[in-house]
Amino acid sequence: MSKMMPTQIRESAPRSEQIVFKQLQRGPRAWVVLQSVSVPVPGGNPREIDFLVMIPDQAVICLEVKGGVYSVHEGEWHLHGQRRVEPPLFQANQAMFALKDYLNAEFPGDHRVRNLPLEYAVVFTDAEWPSGVRKPEARQFYDAGVVQKEGELVQRLADFARQVARRRSRIKPTVATLDRVRGRLMPDVAMRYAWTLGPDLNRIDSELLELTEEQFAALRLAQDGAGKVRNERVLFEGAAGTGKTMLAVQLARTRQRAGDRVAVVCANTVLAYWLRGQLPGLDAVGSAFDALVNSAKVPHATLDRYTSEMSRVGPGQDDECDEILERYALESVELLERQSGKWDYLVVDELQYFNRKAELNILDLALKGGLSEGRWAMFGDFTFQNWLVENNRIAAGQEVSAPPGWADAKDHLRDICRKGWTESIPLARNCRNTEPIAEAAAGLVGQDAPALLPSRVQGPSVVYRYWRDGREAADLLNDEIGRLRSEGVGVQQIAVITDIPYDRHHGRQFGGSPLWVYSDEKGPAPEREGWLRAYYVTNFAGMESDVVIIVDSGLPEGIEVPTSYDTDVALPRLYLGMTRAKGALIVLAHESSRVRLDRGW
């Protein structure tokens, strides 16, 4: 058995690293394997080596482990077809040279360490080498076929080490030399759990991405590995953080590549803007009406008439709004049919917000075969939908009962889709939040929380700070942003989410950066780099950020609500905001919420 340091792999380690740990553990007794070695880089972020395999008298191999499925488009590597990543072999190569530079600096007079025979290799635990990319030498690359054969990985590494030793026979790494190296590296391994958030956000993001195996397996309900449609109508259900939007994007991409005319629809303007950036070349992205209008290239004159008619409708006249909406949607569909034809495939994200049947009627009109016989995939979280709707109405001083025309989106869908659909097994793995964030959000709603499998990705504890007035809230926000920046967190990694009108703070400096507050007039993203983003909580639905700061007011002042809704008014709003955070969460709450947050809801 190899000597593993540490002797056990942490529970939060990615599944891919746990697989390789077990394989390396069965290596020869003389091997010493260090895991998660953090190599300091002068003036830059540390380089991490997943496993440093130290083989006496032969070589030291820097092993990079990659889980998930990779693809290469126009020379750029992507994980799960979504996130752009550094080429794995380049990453391993750079880590090896960072280690060499570090050892040369630490052992300037020790020629045995300075001439240590270092090499690197990459292990793909879940995939084969991406097609269309030139393969490296077999000794430096091991795919899922190698990992799945018992003992094969250890044998390949042993053969590689012998080849290195034959090529570089002048200096043999003795046990004593390797022990000096191990002694210098181990403190770095021990210190990596002291949180300096900036450098660690990439590690958190990488570990969360590797938890998406269940999600991508669920896609097989909609299509097979070759992109052929298996079930024409599929509904995916999952709570916040289960990867619904990620799957929606992936499915839209594959259907587009298959030649389908695809529409991607959501209810949130900010999310729609982000989706357009993820799906270049797709003109049917946005709300149900916007996606139809854009793909049909509706003339501005027609849209001006629509806007004018809508502006004359008074508050509470929802039925009249729906009639105008559907009339102009029918006119747009007729235009679409004359141009390029109806949509071949429809993807709907955040279905839970489609509470008015008119919105689904638009989709029914624009999709070939309609919702009943057409091809579509929809993604929704119905766990807290009713709470959020009630919360918004109560905060506005309205009656608790739902207004006319409102209903559960699934009920509307059943009413329209007479032939039904295939419901997936609910998505149950949290692949967005670190364990402390997930636990805080679940604790907020107690036994009503969805039954999620935890991510087990470690991160800093949730920070709670309390304020008594607006000036104190602004001071706390300034302090926290300044602290994050001092830890190396970039402004683009931070999102401020609030239920307080922050328009008057637009452009104000917080932690050295101006605050950009979302509104319909300003648009969904900062116009210049270096601005902090701020959103009203419901505008950030479906989105996520590495770091989230929530400025929460607690219960609205001066609004009398039924006793049973005493906590429900603030709870869903806070839960929605908390689940947007990936790596770190800071809650700045009104003093009135301290007791409830301290003891749980």
Q: Pick 541 or 386 by higher pLDDT.
A: 541
Residue in 552, 596, 598, 543 with CA at minimum distance from that of residue 573: 552
Model pLDDT for residues 292-310, shown as the tens digit of each residue: 999 999 999 999 999 898 8
Rounded to an integer, what distance in angstroms lies between the CA atom of residue 542 and that of residue 249? 12
First to last CA, the chain: 49
pLDDT digits (tens, 9 = 90+) for 501-547: 777 788 889 988 998 888 877 777 776 778 999 998 888 888 999 99
Higher local confidence (pLDDT), 580 or 139: 580
- Identify the pLDDT of residue 586: 94
Beta bridge partners of 373: none
Q: Per-residue pLDDT for 421 more than 50?
A: yes
Of residues 42 and 186, the one with the higher pLDDT is 42
The tens digit of pLDDT for each residue in 253-274 reads 888 888 999 999 999 888 998 8
Mean pLDDT computed over 400-413: 66
403-426 mean pLDDT = 77
Distance CA 219, CA 223 (A): 6
Structural tokens at position 275: 């989706």
Measured between alpha carbons, how far is 528 from 531 in angstroms, rounded to an integer? 7
Q: Which phi and psi (to 5°) does residue 417 adopt? A: -90, 85
Per-residue pLDDT tens for 426-442? 787 788 888 888 888 87
Least confident range of 8-17, 87-96, 381-390: 381-390
Cis amide leading into 117 (omega within 30): no
CB-CB contact of 584 with 440 (8 Å): no
Give the Cα-Cα-Cα angle 590, 594, 597 (nearest 5 degrees). 110
Q: What angle do CA 49, 152, 216 make, to 5 degrees?
A: 65
* String of DSSP letters for 78-99: EETTTEEE--HHHHHHHHHHHH
Residues in the chain, how many?
601
* Structure tokens belonging to residue 533: 């983003």
Whether the per-residue pLDDT at 443 is higher than 50: the answer is yes
Is residue 27 a contact partner of residue 21, using CB atoms and an 8 Å limit? Answer: no
Residue 392 has pLDDT above 90, yes or no: no
pLDDT at 37: 86
* Residue 552 · residue 592 · CB < 8 Å: no
Q: Which residues contact 315 (CB under 8 A, 6 or more apart)?
A: none
**Across 315-344, average pLDDT:** 89
Three-state secondary-structure class, residue 335: helix
With CA atoms as reference, report the closest residue to 365 among 411, 331, 339: 331
Mean pLDDT of 484-512: 87
| Chain centre distance of CA 107 | 41
Q: Which tokens belong to 338? A: 């004359």
The answer to whether 99 and 116 have CB atoms below 8 angstroms apart is: no
Residue with tokens 């097979």: 224
Query: In this predicted structure, what is the pLDDT of residue 134?
Result: 64
Q: For residue 167, with 0-12 CB atoms within 10 Å meaning exposed, 13-18 middle and 19 or more buried, which class applies? A: exposed
Given this model, what pLDDT does residue 563 score? 40
Query: pLDDT confidence of 81, banded at 50, 70, 90?
Result: low
Max Cα–Cα distance, the chain, nearest Å = 87
Q: Whole-number mean pLDDT of the chain?
A: 81
Residue 182 and residue 186: Cα distance in Å, rounded?
Answer: 6
- Can you give the pLDDT at residue 558? 41
d(Cα 516, Cα 525) in Å, to the nearest integer? Answer: 8
Count, in order, helices (H) and strands (E) of the chain: 21, 22
Position 210, amino acid: E
What single DSSP character describes residue 378? E
pLDDT band at 153 (very low <50, low <70, confident <90, very high): very high
Distance (Å, whole) CA 410 – CA 351: 8
pLDDT band at 97 (very low <50, low <70, confident <90, very high): very high
Phi, psi at residue 141, to the nearest 5°?
-145, 125
With pLDDT > 90 as the criterion, what percentage of the chain qualifies?
27
Average pLDDT over residues 105-111: 81
Query: For 191-246, how does the pLDDT look when each residue is reduced to its tens digit (9 = 90+)?
Result: 333 345 666 677 667 667 666 666 777 777 787 656 677 788 999 888 888 888 88
Helices (H), 523-593: 571-578
Q: Please give the Cα distance from 494 to 509 (Å, whole number).
A: 14
